Structure 1
Amino acid sequence: MAFRFNFSIDESENYEPDTQDKTDLQLCSPKHKQEPTEKSKQTAESVADSSPRLGTDKQRDETPSKKKFCFKAAKEHDIPEDLNKILENKVMETVSGLYYINVSVVEMTCLDGADGEGIVSKSVSSRSDLIPGVYEGGLKIWECTFDLIDYFSEAEIQFTNKTVLDLGCGAGLLGIVALRGGAEKVHFQDYNSTVIDEITLPNTVANCINEGNRMGSGDNRKISKPPSKRPKKADCLPDVLAKCRFFSGEWSEVSQLLLSSNKPFSKYDIILTSETIYNPDYYSVLHDTLAQLLDKNGRVYLASKVHYFGVGGGIHLFEKFVVERNVFRTSIVKIIDEGLQRCIMEMAFKDSS
């Protein structure tokens, strides 16, 4: 398994260059020092790290604000009838018993003009894995995703017959694990439509058509033997894929789309989200989205680094924000001390059972 280390700098007008702090799986999960050195801050291009998430005002380390949030319109993405076309020219990899698309190949294709949003070219030209309001890091798989997948198994989280939202899904691995665990419905959301079309949908299709006998069986354990990297051909839409819906756009816009849609919609029993609290400016809209979409007795499972250097966000700042809102109760259910400290948080409504 090859690891690629990537440090990025955001050169947006309103942001100061700084270090980025999300671990990139392309595949990824490097071990990090607890604190970046001054030298590493000055030579960001040659050092490894990850999460969206880069530079911004140092004042953001103090309190979350509501400024500079971009309201990207929401869109639902239909599942194409020809599933084989979705996987055409895709290179498959496997991790934790799941298929995922090799992102480097996708990036090369998008640079040739297949990316309608232009996020790949903008990311390359700015040398950044995060361009606020343009690209929010969904092309890469960040290490807290695997922390959360491990926690599902350790805590024996049950997805059977549950409605699940993978919020800020990126590759969609959390939602795919929920599908494999027998979820009744799984919805995927990412900020960028390119991520949904080029990464999330192909990953979901690949897992559905290659592991059809396993998907939906209620088995969300890791498998010891990786699946074949050669995707099978799909003769028809797998039943498990019919459980899925895919959305792009900013959180509040997607929430509005779901709540106002003519299609039947029930609130989610489980919302899964990983490394989405890197930017304190987003806390208000994230909190409100969770409050609007979670069932009254539902649970949120959120994975995060303790602190995102340069951006100012982190688990304790978000927890403080949630406590002040007095809508949810929170609990840190797991702490990962390996490398840069990370946490799993469970959230539920204060008046829930």
Structure 2
Amino acid sequence: MAFRFNFLIDEAGTDDQTDLQFCNPEHEWGSTEKSRQTAKAGASSSPSLGHDKYGDKMPLEKKISFKAAKEHQVPGDLNKVLENKVLETVSGLYCINISAVEMTCVDGADAEGIVSKSISSHSDLIPGFYEGGLKIWECTYDLIDYFSEAEIQFTNKTVLDLGCGAGLLGIVALRGDAEQVHFQDYNSTVIDEITLPNAVANCVGEGRRKGSGDAKKTCEPPSKRPKNAKCSPSALSKCRFLSGGWPEVCQLLLSSNRPFSKYDVILTSETVYNPDYYSALHDTLAELLDKNGRVYLASKAHYFGVGGGIYLFEKFIEERKVFRSSIVKTIDQGLQRCIMEMAFKDSS
């Protein structure tokens, strides 16, 4: 069940959150070994190559039009951000019920019109228009699990949640006492309706379920106000919320009069599904990551119908000769998924 919130956060309920994949249901992996061979075979046929400032070779990609960058301010009245929102708990975090948001925006109520276009197109991905931010994709949970397993520390770090969608990765970093957490998504509707409200909900009404096991899809309502909340409304002062294409957001950050420090950690999940975007993603990481920073990237081995995947991107960055990378975790249940760690080649 799910509870509707009007002005004050009192309690949150549960609802199922379905994981979707960029996958043709007619395709299935027969075995782990087959998945590796198929994915790596796809990686071996990299796009046609040209040149740019980050290396000797780069794909001659389709000309991609990106959205202008925009910064979204946190409203003074935090309760209003959550007015009429439906909350659930996902991986121990408060999360806006996305289906409820889609219902309110189905008739074009969102300025971009991404909800109605997505529904009419029967697609969770419309390249250059809507990039999937209204769904929580499977690899997000893999990366959250990895933070705990590998004991990744966010204390006093500057963190970017790139292609954030619901913003769960950045919220985990915020709860881990990061110094700053910035959230970026392609669509402004996603930031306004999902990401920013999620950050507010986890600061105003912190929602960790103690003693939980697998809380990826549903869990019991948390207490009204846990005594040991790790976030507070003041934590929102550490956050920035940005929408637009990666090159445009990068330019906004680097050219702004506002003080900006490059990121110690960049988190990104399921952003390498489309090879046409690899150059923009790679160059954004190269521009925004601190010289000794780390990127944690989660991806499926291959995205059917879109063409990208972890091994193809791994080959791409090897050809650019800017980053070193390693696959630090592989998940073989269902479609093979991986977590990659990246750092500059000359970093310590």
TM-score > 0.5 by shorter chain: yes
Aligned to 1:29: none
Q: TM-score, normalised by structure 1?
A: 0.80
Q: 2:109 aligns with which of 114, 124, 128?
A: 114
2:175 corresponds to 1:180: yes
**Change beyond 3 A, Cα 1:112–1:240:** same
* Structure 1 unaligned spans of 5+: 8-19, 24-31, 37-57, 215-221
Shift of 1:68: 3.4
Counterpart of 1:315 in structure 2: which amino acid?
I
Q: What do residues 229-249 of structure 1 show as CA deviations (whole Å, max 9, x unaligned)?
A: 6987xxxx8111110000000
SS at match of 2:85: coil
* CA root-mean-square deviation: 2.5
Aligned to 2:216: none
**Change beyond 3 A, Cα 1:334–1:203:** same
Query: % of aligned pairs identical?
Result: 75
* Structure 2 unaligned spans of 5+: 1-14, 32-41, 48-58, 213-218, 226-231
Shift of 1:99: 0.8
For residues 231 and 206 of structure 1, what CA distance do their matches in structure 2 show? 12
**Change beyond 3 A, Cα 1:169–1:258:** same
Q: 1:138 aligns with which of 119, 124, 133?
A: 133
For residues 92 and 265 of structure 2, what CA distance do their matches in structure 1 show? 22
For residues 267 and 132 of structure 2, what CA distance do their matches in structure 1 show? 17
Count residues with an aligned counterpart.
Answer: 300
**Residue pair 1:206, 1:231 contacting (<8 A) in 2 also:** no
Alignment of 1:96-245 (within 5 A): 96-211=91-206, 223-225=210-212, 228=221, 238-245=233-240
SS at match of 1:195: helix
Q: What do residues 57-113 of structure 1 show as CA deviations (whole Å, max 9, x unaligned)?
A: x99974254213112100000001111111111111112110101111100111244
Counterpart of 1:72 in structure 2: which amino acid?
K
Aligned to 2:295: 300
**Residue pair 1:61, 1:311 contacting (<8 A) in 2 also:** no
**Residue pair 1:92, 1:230 contacting (<8 A) in 2 also:** no
Aligned to 1:2: 16
**Change beyond 3 A, Cα 1:112–1:89:** farther
For residues 188 and 224 of structure 2, what CA distance do their matches in structure 1 show? 23
SS at match of 1:273: strand
Shift of 1:224: 2.3
**Change beyond 3 A, Cα 1:258–1:296:** same
Shift of 1:284: 0.3
2:66 corresponds to 1:71: yes
SS at match of 2:169: helix
**Residue pair 1:61, 1:312 contacting (<8 A) in 2 also:** no
Name whichever structure is richer in strand by fraction.
2
**Change beyond 3 A, Cα 1:4–1:174:** closer
**Residue pair 1:277, 1:283 contacting (<8 A) in 2 also:** yes
Q: 1:291 aligns with which of 286, 289, 293?
A: 286
**Residue pair 1:65, 1:280 contacting (<8 A) in 2 also:** no
